Structure 1
């Protein structure tokens, strides 16, 4: 069946690919904001301030002094409070600050769910979705649901026993799922925008180069998530050397696997130097993309350039809060720009 035949399978008068594309770009922007707020939540150690998951009632913050005291009492039972924030002198007012960021992070997740599910239902009922896109949109909806579940598993991983932080493995799953969802939203929106412009239902293909770049970038993002989860950004405040040497001392006593997945000094080292492998891969992609879509090439170059500068500045300032947040935000923008570049390559193929 030709692309024209596929498109004809839906009532042409009701198909609205451009409206769908704009909606997905808005949701993608909300996911990018979510990633930034997640970074603030992590950097302010706010993630364990809400110890329960109430999908509906949890959208309402404490409204009375008694409610606040009850939430604070739950937090006081955590290992983080008993071993870190409690001995540091945290009072109710300080608790309200970290509670706000975790509550806002969860609220934003709920809003993104509504911003996706409600328009999806409306477009579905109105038969405005082009042929072949319903499974993709349902997959994106499922990813959003999984993201919420992974977020709770992440929080729960830090609530047991003497734990004073969430698992860096669950944190990486939570963050990478969000970034994968972001790339899926951007890719699908670009397919729909192309359909609106050309009238042909011919989605872009994933090329070999795009897969290589995606894998290289995935490794860098995974290392970045582990750096955040292990507070490994504090392992060094100098660049390019760490501890006065290129390769820092690391704990190899528990085996290479543990060192590669748990040692904060070695993971910090890997994250700062694998970044240049990612830069090389992105430069190759950007050069390939330039002839077909110069704006996408500029977006890729700008994103990784700013990201490198922010990463170095974050290290040199001892993980300044807003520099680190900006680093995470630009990381999300880099994912979106890479998805754009990969889509351009897929259109050329």
Structure 2
């Protein structure tokens, strides 16, 4: 048998034991890839490699719906928060009244609110502002805060109904209440962030009143953590552990029946390595999001608007040395130095993009080729999430470069922030869809198979 030069020894040995034909040599004619008309497909056992639960037949559907609905409203909240920052509206409400819901109603109330705003440092930068201009920035911040309350109201009401109807899934009481506490902490972190921009000591940062970039990053990351927790919990409820064990058992059975014993360990190792790569890529995406918060907190996106260089240099060494802060520990430059903050975000974005590309390539390779086509070890959910992650990553990179080179227009900057949330979401879905490949799931499936044989 003459094999193409591209076929590895391991592939040939495994294909021979599976009794699969070698891949045909490259040919301009597609007929070379088609089986002869009289050939009948080889007999293979059929397995259901998919996670079958849906809202229609899942008792935990109400709790999953609550998590996904709340996560959807948080998406709007994050978007409005970004627009509030981009329109420089975040310091317009200089006091916090938890019991007050409506904005000023009369002319007198608006003038009183405006006079109160003038007592704080930001007014010194905006002395030419009219009352109508103040209303514009005030409504952005007011809308952001009201959306935060709406998130709490939706989730709190939904959780209360689940408790009353006794539909809280077993073992999820602590997690659901923990998510509610995390949402409450998000509001507290938001006010803590705003307070950092209401004092004169913030004027030292480039002679501009702005909130602390550390507190802004904490506020954004808390929102992303809350969102991620809701999405992950919703996926857990949609695809319970029993279903994952069933799919893990099918994977084990297929490998045991169709792959020689000497090669089974290698295939399982490849699958688990792929899952590890997906987890690492999702974690790297979150770190990149956090670095983007420091870009926003330092207004670093407006400083270097060329790409792939920064002011004609790949690494702007001179600006990194001279830019603020000039004193204090060097590590502060990674979070406060405009040039270094943007450089860090670029490097993390490149690294994340490379990780996504590697993960997508590995997953498609595992499920492709003669061996992959025969084994089909990735579920439809995993394949869909894998392709979505790759597509969103390409869109997010394009948005980031466009936003930078066009000097951060508001609509593109807001879309780029939502793109980071979309990329994190696709990574979460991919990681969760591969949980049936976790070592624990496979061990449980093996034990169940041994018990069934006995």
TM-score (norm 2): 0.68
Structure 2: distance between partners of 1:138 and 1:337: 25
Matched, 1:77 2:144: no
Structure 1: distance between partners of 2:201 and 2:114: 18
Matched, 1:267 2:341: yes
Matched, 1:240 2:308: yes
Aligned to 1:23: 66
Aligned to 2:152: 113
Matches within 5 A, 1:1-349: 16-57=59-100, 59-82=101-124, 84-86=125-127, 89-163=128-202, 164-195=209-240, 198=243, 208-248=276-316, 249-251=319-321, 253-254=326-327, 255-287=329-361, 291-292=378-379, 293-349=382-438
Gaps of 5+ in 2: 1-57, 203-208, 248-274, 365-377, 439-454
Gaps of 5+ in 1: 1-14
Q: CA deviation at 1:201?
A: 11
Structure 2: distance between partners of 1:49 and 1:102: 7
Q: Is the CA contact (8 Å cut-off) linking 1:289 and 1:345 kept in structure 2?
A: no
Aligned to 2:39: none
Structure 2: distance between partners of 1:130 and 1:141: 16
Deviations 1:5-30 (A, max 9, x none): xxxxxxxxxx8311221221111111
Q: Is the CA contact (8 Å cut-off) linking 2:83 and 2:410 kept in structure 1?
A: yes
Aligned to 1:8: none
Structure 2: distance between partners of 1:134 and 1:259: 43
TM-score (norm 1): 0.88
Structure 2: distance between partners of 1:243 and 1:26: 44
Question: Which deviates the most, 16-25 or 226-235?
Answer: 16-25
- Count how many residue pairs are aligned between Structure 1 and Structure 2: 328
Structure 2: distance between partners of 1:307 and 1:199: 31
Cα pair distance change 1:62/1:289, threshold 3 Å: farther
4+ runs deviating over 6 angstroms: 199-202
